[in-house]
Amino acid sequence: MFEATRKWPDLRGWVVPAALLALWWLATAQEWVDTRLVASPTAVLEAAWQAAVSGELWQGLAASLGRNLSGFALGGLAGLAFGGLLGLSRLAERLVGPTFHAFKQIALFAWIPLLSAWFGFGEPAKVAFIALAVFYPVALNSFEGIRSTRRELLEVARVLGLTPTQRLLRLVLPSAAPAIFTGLHLGLIYAWLATLGAEYFFSAAPGIGNTMIDGREHFDMDQVIYGLLVVGAVGLVLNRLAARIEARALAWRDGGR
């Protein structure tokens, strides 16, 4: 009984998806909706199977994930470096902090004309677009995490004679780690959203976004919906993966449990 009770919460997350799937199947089977606009689950499954067998699905998925991870790495590293600089240097914060806080208010898609002028419409522009989406949450959380280090702890570190490097490695970074990982987690989510945006707004190339664009242009709603489901599934996997890595990296906060 106890084991069954423990496993029950893991099943509750499937209630809404199962209900939506049943409603979707019923609505298309009973022709409550126009199946030219809302393809049936069977048609979507068949389209996904054909794409998987032909290799189109894996090619598009590999291309999208390649852009996603490249942009995430570039934007994440830049965000960590910039946020660390602002957090550790009061002078840097006074000089460039106001400009940074002003730029972060600019909508991501407003950068597309400038990025296309600088990098064209190919892969470099897409990666730059994704990196920009990652940069701001990582930089902001890194900055706030470093600045949230308690002043009392810094005073104790000075009294103990710790060098600046020792204070950084033993006090500041461990204290800021939760905020930094939160920024990286958000950055990974934003990177996947930006990947789809980049595939929509820049030149056509293999990718899950391009799969949905092709489906829209040919009015193949089964292809559009299967692409949408793949996007959601990949986003869920990336989010779960980031959460697990964050939990393991910060396990020391709970005594290593």
pLDDT in tens, 142-177: 998 888 877 776 676 676 666 777 777 777 788 888
| φ/ψ (deg, to 5) at 122 | -90, -155
Q: Is the pLDDT of residue 99 over 80?
A: yes
Q: Is domain 61-205 given the CATH code 3.40.50.10380 in the classification?
A: no
pLDDT interval class at 138 (50, 70, 90): very high
Mean pLDDT, rounded, for 178-205: 89
> What percentage of the chain has pLDDT greater than the value 70?
90
Question: What's the whole-model pTM score?
Answer: 0.84
pLDDT in tens, 29-73: 887 887 788 888 888 898 889 888 988 889 989 999 999 999 999
pLDDT interval class at 254 (50, 70, 90): low
Provide the pLDDT for residue 257.
Answer: 47
Residue 28 near residue 20 (C-beta atoms within 8 A): no
Highest-confidence segment of 16-30, 46-60, 129-143, 201-215: 129-143
Q: How far apart are CA 227 and CA 57, in angstroms?
A: 9
Q: Is the pLDDT of residue 256 over 50?
A: no
- The terminus-to-terminus CA distance of the chain in angstroms comes to 26
Mean pLDDT, rounded, for 116-142: 92
Residue 184 near residue 133 (C-beta atoms within 8 A): no
Candidate from 11-20, 72-81, 179-188, 228-237 with smallest mean pLDDT: 11-20
